[in-house]
Amino acid sequence: MTNLQIRVGLDLFEKNWPKKLKGSRVGLLVHPASVNKNLEHAVPPFFKSNKFKLKALFGPQHGILGETQDNMIEWEGFRDTKTGLPVFSLYGHSRKPEPSMLQDIDVLAIDMQDIGSRYYTFIWTMELCMQACMEMNKSVIILDRPNPINGHLTEGPVLDMAFASFVGQRPLPVRHGMTIGEIGNYLRNEFYPSLDFHVIPMQGWNRKNWFDETGLPWVLPSPNMPSPESAIVYPGMCLFEGTNLSEGRGTTRPFEIFGAPFIEPDKLTTHLLRFKLPGLIFRPVYFQPTFQKHTGKLCGGAQIHIINRERLKPFKTGVAIIKSIHYLYPEHFAWKQPPYEYETEKMPIDILAGTDRLRKDIEKGEKLDKMEEWWQEECSQFNKQYRKKYLIYK
């Protein structure tokens, strides 16, 4: 069932632009998925608008054009040939806008498709923009977009600030169940109360909507997020970035396919059956990554096939897989060592999980259901204390 009535913030910005910011000088933070319902990118309508003057463009990790394929590849700014505007990189020598980048604007508009997981760095680029704009007395406007894995299911640990990094800068569950505008609401009210902050909400989006129910076209927000299915499993499968296991980068189904050269697929999938994980089937596979971990090597593993996405627990699934491989292949499995995403000391798995408790529980063989109890308790507390205050949609 599709709902063709949904309109994102970009479809509504002319109508709902704050009156007090009319005539302002604007910077625009975008990426490839910053498109309207007709697949037109945000830059042309912003450039043509008579509500304000577009003065600069900004891009996050993977670039304004999605040109950097892999993680942790920096890019530098340039001048846009179509508009003549400067394009500033927020994933190069700086991840926070520098004063010189903001000096010629009054407002920073942000239009980025998030995918519903705390690790995905676009929300933290947004936060660093909010921080810089508050410091320089600039306004921020978020053009809201759907959470593609719905806005009512949450899962996973809440970040402990001792493990803050660019894959998690503030307390938030791994699967947060919020839109980028709602996260902006939370960040502004809890951490940047003096910031002049606005959200241009969507029309017609319901918290229970999955992306394929919105009627909107899917555009890759980053090169390894090819489909809504990739986003659904990502809250658990991104944890593989903290291990020596392939998370399927270098295949056509990243995060759905996983494995390593030392894994025997049938042995692993048989072991995984004991967890009785809901909403999925593991299919044994072999694959050969074309880049990233284990490039060119034959890997054994599995593909996750989603059969009931409402019942699926992606974070628990990712943990169950890592637990299984840690148990079955103790002489081969390894945690990735730093550096990772600008963190040079803490373990990558710890900053991804937002705690070292997950890693320690896996190492000591803690039961999966006991682990789920503590992270769901953290998740529940966050929902009651913070999340429910900042939700925009029913």
Q: Which residue has the higher pLDDT, 76 or 208?
A: 208
**Of 87, 90, 170, the residue nearest 125 (C-alpha):** 90
Q: Does residue 270 share a domain with residue 219?
A: no
The 10s digit of each residue's pLDDT in 339-387 is: 999 999 999 999 999 999 999 999 999 999 999 999 999 999 999 999 9
DSSP code string of 216-244 = PPP--SSTT--SHHHHHHHHHHGGGGGBS
Q: Is residue 327 over pLDDT 50?
A: yes
Which token pair is 205? 């989006």
Handedness of CA 393, 305, 175, 112 (dihedral sign): negative
Residue 65: pLDDT band (50, 70, 90) is confident
Q: Contact, 122 vs 221, CB < 8 A? A: yes
Q: Is the pLDDT confidence value at 62 over 90?
A: no
Q: What percent of the chain has pLDDT over 70?
A: 97
Q: pLDDT value at position 274?
A: 97
CATH number of residue 116's parent domain: 3.40.50.12170
| Mean pLDDT within 196-202 | 98
Specify the pLDDT at position 1.
47
149's CB contacts (< 8 A; 6+ apart) are: 115, 116, 117, 175, 210, 211, 228, 231, 232, 235
Does position 69 have pLDDT exceeding 80, yes or no?
no
Nearest to 243 by CA among 315, 334, 319, 314: 334
Of the pLDDT bands very low, low, confident and very high (cuts 50, 70, 90), residue 74 is confident
- Same domain for 131 and 250, yes or no, is no
Contact 224, 254 (CB under 8 A): yes
Same domain, 205 and 238: no
pLDDT category of residue 71 using cuts at 50, 70 and 90: low
Least confident range of 36-40, 185-189, 257-261, 300-304: 36-40
Mean pLDDT on 216-239: 96
Looking at the fold, whether 251 and 319 belong to one and the same domain comes out as: yes
Query: 123 and 22, same structural domain?
Result: yes
Residue 14, domain extent: 9-223+386-390
Query: Based on the domain organization, do 213 and 263 belong to the same domain?
Result: no
How far is C-alpha 223 from the chain's CA centre? 13
Give me the amino acid identity at 321: I
Report whether pLDDT(85) > 60: yes
Q: Is residue 376 part of a domain?
A: no
Of 4-18, 61-75, 229-243, the one with minimum mean pLDDT is: 61-75
Q: Determine how β-strand 139-143 pairs with β-strand 196-200.
A: parallel
The reply to whether 170 falls in a domain is yes
**Residue 378 falls within a domain, yes or no?**
no
Residue corresponding to tokens 């000088």: 25
State the average pLDDT for the chain: 96
Would you tell me how many other CB atoms lie within 10 Å of the CB of residue 358? 24
The number of folded domains in the chain is 2
Predicted confidence at residue 64, as pLDDT, reads: 84
Cβ atoms 312, 279 nearer than 8 A: yes
In a domain, 99, yes or no: yes
In a shared domain, residues 208 and 236: no
pLDDT value at 142 more than 80: yes
Per-residue b/e over 370-390, b at no fewer than 16 CB within 10 Å? ebbeebbebbeebbeebbeeb
pLDDT in tens, 289-314: 999 999 999 999 999 999 999 999 99
Judgement on whether residues 186 and 78 belong to the same structural domain of the protein: yes
The model's pLDDT over 99-137, given as tens digits with 9 standing for 90+, comes to 999 999 999 999 999 999 999 999 999 999 999 999 999
Same domain, 58 and 204: yes
